[in-house]
Amino acid sequence: MAECWGYEECAYDALLEGNERGARASQLRALFAELRPAVVRVLGPAVARSAGISENFLEGEYPVAGQQALNREVAEAIGFDFAAGRIDTTTHPFCTGLGPRDCRLTTRYNERNFAQSLYGVLHEAGHGLYDQGLPGEDYGTPCGTYVSLGIHESQSRFWENQVGRSPAFWEYWHPHACRHLPALKRFTPEQISQAVNRVAPSFIRVEADQVTYDLHIILRFEIEVKLMGGEVKPADVPALWNAEFEKMFGLKVPNDAQGCLQDIHWSMGGLGYFPTYTLGNLNASQLRHRADQELPGLESDLAQGRYAPLLAWLRDKIHSQGQRYLPHELMARATGEPTQAKYHLEYLRKKFAV
């Protein structure tokens, strides 16, 4: 594929181009080289802060009907248009746009863990808000199409983490959540906020916390680049993965199902996709930093469940632009500079290590 598509610096760039136009492996190496050691420095204090919160702290009786009612209320509050979309049930959450007035969100339910479906909906609704914010009159053209996976992921991460995992979110939504899910009455908003922000290294990327998530991505990126460069053969991947994972996380990988075979991306030929997840995190933090500057009342709005000003800002800066600019140009126009690691690191330090 890379040889057919062509590239200037390295073969991996051809695959990156299909997911993040204009991105280059050399740029990502520099970005991730700054990110990786800084995240590791945050990890120790973050784990220590979570030491008193067990993995099953919030476990309880959460009927699916109550979860569905809460999820819909939250999605509607942040701006998802149910006249042009819906939420359904699936094994693995996703969002798909079938047209300018038909956006489908999906989530999965665990009657012992309401957070699984709620944060699945917040994440996918972030994608959905982007889809619904694209100019409908330009559907089928570049101006009516999302610009990249890294920008798309920034929208889902923004609503899931920057908004949904903030203390302000639970201060506002606690009484509403208790109305739909009475088992939550035994927890304070602060306890719920601490539990949904628990940090602990684990094997599975899709279950990773906010601090360790990017380490999962960096591991995959480094292996992909070596595969494409011929430094590593596919048969060598399990041993390389296990060794590097133990270095990064301090955990011994028990089997390949919890190691290099856990994702679908490589089996479907999706190399060059993983880095866009971390770009999404970096972009989300950078956008939040800029939004705080340009929307002086943002923190107060979020604490009172008013999301319209924030959504309008994202519509103007990101959604309405379609593919008018390359991703790094779009970020520069929206925030004053191309994608940086520093804002995400600042967010992680402030939230998990201070």
Average pLDDT over residues 82-89: 97
Question: Does the pLDDT of residue 284 top 90, yes or no?
Answer: yes
pLDDT at 71 over 90: yes
The average confidence (pLDDT) of the chain is 97
**Residues belonging to the active site:** 124
Give pLDDT, residue 135: 96
3-state secondary structure the chain: CHHHHCCCCCHHHHHHHCCCCCCCHHHHHHHHHHHHHHHHHHHHHHHHHCCCCCCCCCCCCCCHHHHHHHHHHHHHHHCCCHHHEEEEECCCCCEEEEECCEEEEEECCCCCCHHHHHHHHHHHHHHHHHHHHCCHHHCCCHHHCCCCHHHHHHHHHHHHHHHCCCHHHHHHHHHHHHHHCHHHHHCCHHHHHHHHCCCCCCCCHHHCCCCCHHHHHHHHHHHHHHHHHCCCCHHHHHHHHHHHHHHHHCCCCCCHHHCCCCCCCCCCCCCCCCHHHHHHHHHHHHHHHHHHHHCCCHHHHHHCCCCHHHHHHHHHHCHHHCCCCCHHHHHHHHHCCCCCCHHHHHHHHHHHHC
Over residues 13-67, the pLDDT tens digits come to 999 999 999 999 999 999 999 999 999 999 999 999 999 999 999 999 999 999 9
Rounded mean pLDDT, 185-202: 98
pLDDT, mean of residues 127-136: 97
Region 298-326 average pLDDT: 98
Domains of the chain, residue spans: 2-53+202-276, 64-200+291-324
Q: Does the model's pTM come out above 0.95?
A: yes
Question: What is the pLDDT averaged over residues 238-257?
Answer: 97
Residue 192 pLDDT grade (very low, low, confident, very high; cuts 50, 70, 90): very high
pLDDT at 243 over 90: yes
Give the per-residue pLDDT at 354: 86
The pLDDT of residue 92 is above 90: no
Band of residue 190 on the pLDDT scale cut at 50, 70, 90: very high
Q: What's the mean pLDDT in 268-279?
A: 96
Mean pLDDT (whole number) for 329-336: 98
